[in-house]
Amino acid sequence: MANYGFLIDQSRCIGCHACSVACKSENQVPLGVYRTWVKYVEVGEYPDVRRHFQVTRCNHCANPPCVRICPVGAMYQRHDGIVEFDSSICIGCKSCIQACPYDSIYLDPNTHTAAKCHFCAHRIEMGLEPACVVVCPEHAIIAGDLDDPNSEISRKLARSQVTVRKPEQGTGPKLFYINGNDWALHPTASSTSASYMWADRITEQNVAPYGQAKADGGRASAGERRAASGVPIRTPQTQGMPLNGPIQIGGRVAEQMVQTAYNAQHKIYWHWELPAYLVTKNIAGGLFMYLSLGVALGSFPFDSLVFILAGFVSLLFTLITALLLIKDLSQPKRFFTILLRPQWKSWVARGAFVLVGFSAVAGIWWLLEMLAWQGVLQPLAPALRPFFAWVTFPLALLAVIYTAFLLGQAEGRDMWQNPLLPFQLFAQAVMVAGGVFLLLSLFIPFPESLHSFLARLFPAAIFVDLLLMLAGKFTSFASEVALLGYREMTKGRFRNAYWWGGVVLGHLVPLVLLLLAPFLMPLAVVCTVVGLFFYEYAFVMAPQYIPNS
């Protein structure tokens, strides 16, 4: 049985882009996205500058995280080691993009499904080599069976010193480099200015590369929009400028230049929908956590009207959560594929079933209490109430915290690999659900013991969640990428959302209001919910701006 891999001899690569062009032609890859691309990194001080090339593509990992996280098995590993995808069943959840530590997967603008290098599997099955191998004029790209000792790739690997990208990720990449340059292999090792060799560079939301602010803060120029599609152009700013000369970085001339001179443009795929879904899911699951524990542990007396109103609000936020998840899909009509053919290793698929199970059990319990309140099935409800309470609580808890395990599978974003995240999600649910519960007391009378319980727990949950938020400052990060993501969140472009939104508006202001003016409790609750969204937005967006290629 074959085990295919790639070997790139960087000492032979001349940066001609023939492999990129052949890949686009062979696989009909649309403009603006890439399966194979050549990265340029320039090192040295003018006039003594060297340019290093790096052919970049899917690593066809032996332990591919994109396969584990795919909820429907659209991304899968073949028996010959090739990591392949099936666009006909992809739902466009973009989880595989977040799971790839090499930035090798993109969303096809035509099919709205995930795509990447698939080793030209259709050619391999016919006994042909991948298109990029055939077209390379320097024979810098070699593909073959790693398990065959007589294959060219095996012979070269046996006598050459090779490197791979990010071996610490544990993915077992099968894309090897001879004379791989460290500045090119490590995406955060070289800086990137606002323009490439022949093109202006544009990033998400018209901002400059990591660690820099866009100088004019204006809209994207025509040149930037063309650069986003990867088309090299000459701009007035670069006209007459020596390509290898010192350039302006942060207002100063870089005397010892190490910079990325050309790279593919890649987009950020998760936006406001995911932070909003985290907030709505915390409210939905948190409310039923309160209701379930109240019944199971007798924390406060059961009140039918309180249960019906709080349960209705919870189910309403569950519906909003589902709508946000479906909206975020690039193929929303295929949403039910998760339920019809789930890939059980994926926490995206597991989470879908958790939400369905929670909604079903909580909905049946709510309907039973509603009928009992109206005089139907009245003797049955008290007998079944403890059963529903003990079954609903673990489902509500899982609905709240499963996202921590989902983000844990997104191995391309190391900042999300946080062991405190399940506890933080739990604290957030207790916080915002407790606040919403208190808001409901403005509309119907609550038992005094319940109101007193919530009035004590709500500020306590705010304080605990604040401590968990700030704990990152004292955490040792597992990787440089995780540290850079945290810095981007707290000191970079998302610092205002984190500090002014998440910390001040979401936590400090509510605590002050509750301490000095308890009658402003409704305002404190609103600040908490809005502030939590700002924090989640910073938390979700920041790691996506750290380059993986």
| Tens-digit pLDDT profile for residues 356-404 | 999 999 999 999 999 998 888 778 888 899 999 999 999 999 999 999 9
Q: Cα dihedral angle (422, 501, 415, 181), rounded to 10 degrees?
A: 170
- CB-based contact 58:102 (threshold 8 Å): yes
Longest dimension (CA), the chain: 89
Burial class (CB in 10 A: 0-12, 13-18, 19+), 158: exposed
pLDDT of residue 226: 36
Tokens of 198: 């022949």
Kindly state the helix (H) or strand (E) to which residue 21 belongs, with its residue range: helix 18-27
| Tens-digit pLDDT profile for residues 391-438 | 999 999 999 999 999 999 999 999 999 899 999 999 999 999 999 999
Amino acid at 501: G
Amino acid at 479: S
**Percent of residues, the chain, with pLDDT higher than 90:** 71
3-state secondary structure 314-336: HHHHHHHHHHHHHHHCCCHHHCC
> Does the predicted TM-score (pTM) go above 0.85?
yes
Rg (CA), the chain: 27
Q: Which of 343, 352, 339, 340 is nearest to 70 (CA)?
A: 343
What is the distance, to the nearest Å, from the Cα of residue 242 to the centroid of all Cα atoms in its chain? 38
pLDDT band at 134 (very low <50, low <70, confident <90, very high): very high
State yes or no: cis peptide before 47, omega within 30 of 0. Answer: yes
| Tens-digit pLDDT profile for residues 57-86 | 999 999 999 999 999 999 999 999 999 999
- CB-based contact 279:532 (threshold 8 Å): yes
Kindly state the helix (H) or strand (E) to which residue 45 belongs, with its residue range: strand 37-45
Task: Locate CATH 1.20.1630.10 in the chain.
Answer: 273-545
Amino acid at 346: S
Count CB neighbours of 275 within 10 A. 22
Of the CATH numbers 3.20.20.10, 1.20.1630.10, 1.25.40.10, 3.40.50.10170, which one belongs to the domain with range 273-545?
Answer: 1.20.1630.10
What is the residue whose two structure tokens read 């599997």?
Answer: 121
pLDDT of residue 464: 96
pLDDT, mean of residues 1-22: 93
Task: Locate CATH 3.30.70.20 in the chain.
Answer: 4-185
| Tens-digit pLDDT profile for residues 203-251 | 554 333 333 333 333 333 333 333 333 333 333 333 333 333 333 333 3
Contacts 24+ apart (CB under 8 A), 43-46: 43/181, 43/183, 43/257, 43/258, 44/244, 44/256, 44/257, 45/246, 45/255, 45/256, 45/257, 46/242, 46/244, 46/245, 46/246, 46/257
pLDDT of residue 234: 32
pLDDT of residue 199: 67
Burial 323-352 (b: 16+ CB within 10 A, else e): ebbeebbbbeebbebbeeebbeebbbbbbb
- Domain 4-185 is found in CATH 3.30.450.40: no
